[in-house]
Structure 1
Amino acid sequence: MSQQNEFVREFSQGEVAASILRSTVAVRERCGQLLDRARVGHSAWFTVDDGRMRAAAAEVAAATRRHYPKLQVPLHSRWRHFEAGGVDRRHLLEQRLGDAPLSARARAMIDLTVVSVLLDAGAGSDWKYVDAASGQTYTRSEGLAVASFHAFTAGMFSSDRLHPLQADAEGLRSLVTDRLAEVLQASEANPLVGLQGRAVLLRRLGEALQEQPEVFGDPGRPSGIFDWLIGAEGGIPHSADVDAHDILSQLLVSLSGIWPLGTSIGGVPLGDVWRHAAVRGDADSDGWVPFHKLTQWITYSLLEPFTWAGVQVRGIERLTALPEYRNGGLLIDSGVLQLREPEAANTVWHPGDEIIVEWRALTVALIDELAGLVRSELSLSEDELPLAAVLEGGTWAAGRELAQRARDGRPPLQVHSDGTVF
């Protein structure tokens, strides 16, 4: 067989594997395999104490009541972080947009969402952002949200001075790391973990937008996916609807090449998908565990801009819990997950290390189960408290609060971050 034919054959196998792994069905199934394995004592890293699940659910329910006393819990979304300090930044953006049509407003909000989420990874415990507009100081996810909001409204991600309220291919491709550091107020005295990785990620986003005009249009904007999915070029159809997983699937295909740490099969980039020898699957997907954390976080955060534009979004329940250190930390700090070797907490791990792959997989699988217990604690149905609201109410907040009590906010396991996984 010629080298060219061999390449075609391998590429085809890679595409088949990628299509299997670009699904939340695969995320849940593979993560479930590792939970079943850990429960019978076959994990080298963790034991599972199911007797602690009720206590963990009580922590989540208590956090939910504190944050949402009326139990009217919104979806987990980057837009909650834009509300930091009690400031309605959606309203501020709408004021800036003036009398722009609904479709143009949706595109601006989608551009902002995608860029802001890609900047939202662990900031580290030493970084802070001072909001000149309010005088308030923010840290972690809220600080990154507020900083990215101001950068966006200042036109930092647009190449068109006449249209600053957008992100486009050229504006992102030309992003200078030092300029990003400046707007994020990052410095030696105010260190931000993974700054370089965030800048690379946005530049790669710009390249992906430019390379796919059929999806992202010209000049290539993240919000092109809105037009691609619902056909909004001439205005938003009154009957517009979309499945949440279709948003995720398109993002997984279109943005698959932007991840600096991304893995691949047969030359096909997979993104946030990692090896674990104990996981079984079809064809070349065998031995791989998909998570797609940041892409799912983008999807969760796009649900409201789509809805605000009058689009009915279906199938939200198909998305999974986000396997990051707040949700995963909740499970360790509540005692549901226990390290076989406590000294593992003192090691700095990498995203592809087996212990981290397992931690993230167990997080996805266990939070699916925990969600039912939280609803029971709050006497709410799944319709009243979907998984996206459990995360918001919820597991993320409770994980942060437990970490604050235990370690001044630091996660229970240390992961070397380039700003694109955690």
Structure 2
Amino acid sequence: MEIGTTETQRAQREEEREAIAYFRSPVAIRECCGQIFTWVNEGHSRYFACDLKQLERVADYVIEVMRCEYPNLQIPFHSRWRHFAAGNVPRLTQLDTQLTGLTPLEKAAAKFDLAIVSVLLDAGAGDSWRYYEQETGLTLGRSEGLAIASFQMFCQGSFSSNNLLQVDALRLQTLTETELANGFQVNAKNPLVGISGRWQLLQKLGQVLVSLPDLFGYQNPRPGNLVNYLLSKSQNGQLTASTVFSAVLEGLSDIWPGRLEIAGVNLGDVWQYPSLETAQLLYSSLVPFHKLSQWLTYSLLEPLQELGLEITGLDALTGLPEYRNGGLCLDLGLISAKSPDILHSSHSVGSEVIVEWRALTVILLDRIAIAVREKLGMTAEELPLVKILQGGTWTAGRKIAAELRTGGKPPIKIESDGTVF
């Protein structure tokens, strides 16, 4: 009896380990989202329909935006680094000047510190929040404003226990919500969605840095020490994008609040979609997205390239299921809502309607990318998905939203806690 029980427990633990690894993979994102895509296209959905005849039109619109933004089609990665240049201010040149005297490895670690904290603070800001940059006189909202606010706090040493250009565990754990709110100029007249959730993320990050010394260092734990770990995973000067993604998920999964778990392991940006549930398959109703983790992965690739590493397998990662890319699909008719209530109501991130919208977005971004490349006569190596997002779908989603709605609001209202979008 005991032997049988032990074998059963061992088999269960192995099944749980395999499930955790699966839901942390880009393969799982595409497979689970693909199941929802098929479900919708078979007409089963209560929420959305897809009209793939609109794909050509959407691809043409995206190409038009790409040529406007990047006439020579020399498109950079879709990453946090683009936002630091908001208003055409050479802030990254200023940062490099401040980092003068550091070794290339130390510079990469500092840039990891900045990118990781800035991305974690990047969830949707809401319509009314603005950041005023004293040095330039610019007033910025949304992602650009969040980027510059976090950039300025980093450059002022606000995330460091010794006022250096770095982020360390000790300081993150002592940072108060008031200090973060002040750094982001939040007040009654300038409210920022999810400020408490953002602060709690940084608190959790501080705790995780200490708990995972293999990833973040035994001495002075900091996000930037992940550079050393990733260098150890490189072979012949090459590193796969999926390796970076896996490190991000392994290192940061415990910072996400109130998420689904398997065997006590926090899955992060993974949600339930009951329509997929089958009695034969355990965890069959779970759908992973890992939007912020993939956005962060994309943002860590450039400091690694500056170290001389060649990043391979870029298109293993997926498009980002957030309201700009998803909004593009809705606003141009690739996706249509079956009821006007969907567009006029507010929905939680974990609701079935939002999970479905995000899943459709992941698959349609792949389809849009293929159509764009075919029209331009370019290969996936020449124009990977991360560049199409930048050129691209995210920019086009923002553009069409601004044309259709005051303030460029997304077509669907999402109740955000500051940790997903």
| TM-score normalised over the length of structure 2 | 0.94
Which residue does the alignment assign to 1:175? Answer: 175
Which residue does the alignment assign to 2:368? Answer: 370
Once the 2 structures are TM-superposed, how far is the Cα of residue 346 of structure 1 from its aligned partner?
1.5
Residue from 14, 21, 24 that aligns with 2:26 = 24
Pairwise CA RMSD: 2.0
1:248 matched to 2:250? no
Residue from 265, 268, 276 that aligns with 1:268 = 265
Change (3 A) 1:9 1:418: farther
Which residue does the alignment assign to 1:259? Answer: 256
In 2, the alpha carbon distance for the partners of 1:262 and 1:312 equals 34
In 1, the alpha carbon distance for the partners of 2:355 and 2:271 equals 7
Which residue does the alignment assign to 2:274? Answer: 277
Residues 241-294 of structure 1, C-alpha deviations (whole Å, 9 max, x = no match)? 211101111111121111014211232210000111233688533211000001
Once the 2 structures are TM-superposed, how far is the Cα of residue 54 of structure 1 from its aligned partner?
1.2
Which residue does the alignment assign to 1:298? Answer: 296
Residues 22-58 of structure 1, C-alpha deviations (whole Å, 9 max, x = no match)? 1000100111111111111111110001111111111
Which residue does the alignment assign to 1:211? Answer: 211
Which residue does the alignment assign to 1:135? Answer: 137
Change (3 A) 1:359 1:7: same
State the one-letter code of the partner of 1:421: V
Tell me, what secondary structure is at the counterpart of 2:276?
coil
Contact 2:119 2:292 in 1 (8 A): yes
Change (3 A) 1:11 1:259: farther
Change (3 A) 1:169 1:226: same
State the one-letter code of the partner of 1:160: N
Moved more, 370-379 or 88-97: 370-379
Tell me, what secondary structure is at the counterpart of 2:362?
helix
Alignment of 1:314-325 (within 5 A): 314-325=312-323
1:114 matched to 2:113? no
Moved more, 123-132 or 368-377: 368-377
State the one-letter code of the partner of 1:353: S
Q: Show structure 1 runs of 4+ deviating over 6 A.
A: 4-10
Name the % identity.
44
Which residue does the alignment assign to 2:76? Answer: 74
In 2, the alpha carbon distance for the partners of 1:231 and 1:242 equals 10
Once the 2 structures are TM-superposed, how far is the Cα of residue 376 of structure 1 from its aligned partner?
2.9
| TM-score normalised over the length of structure 1 | 0.94
1:46 matched to 2:48? yes
In 2, the alpha carbon distance for the partners of 1:92 and 1:261 equals 39
State the one-letter code of the partner of 2:237: A
Which residue does the alignment assign to 1:417? Answer: 416
Contact 1:21 1:285 in 2 (8 A): no
Stretches of structure 1 lacking an aligned partner (at least 5 in a row): none
Tell me, what secondary structure is at the counterpart of 1:271?
coil
Contact 1:13 1:266 in 2 (8 A): no
1:344 matched to 2:363? no
In 2, the alpha carbon distance for the partners of 1:388 and 1:276 equals 27
Contact 1:177 1:199 in 2 (8 A): yes
Change (3 A) 1:283 1:13: farther
Which residue does the alignment assign to 1:329? Answer: 327
Which residue does the alignment assign to 2:189? Answer: 189
Contact 1:13 1:284 in 2 (8 A): no
Once the 2 structures are TM-superposed, how far is the Cα of residue 378 of structure 1 from its aligned partner?
3.1
Change (3 A) 1:98 1:325: same
In 2, the alpha carbon distance for the partners of 1:52 and 1:33 equals 21
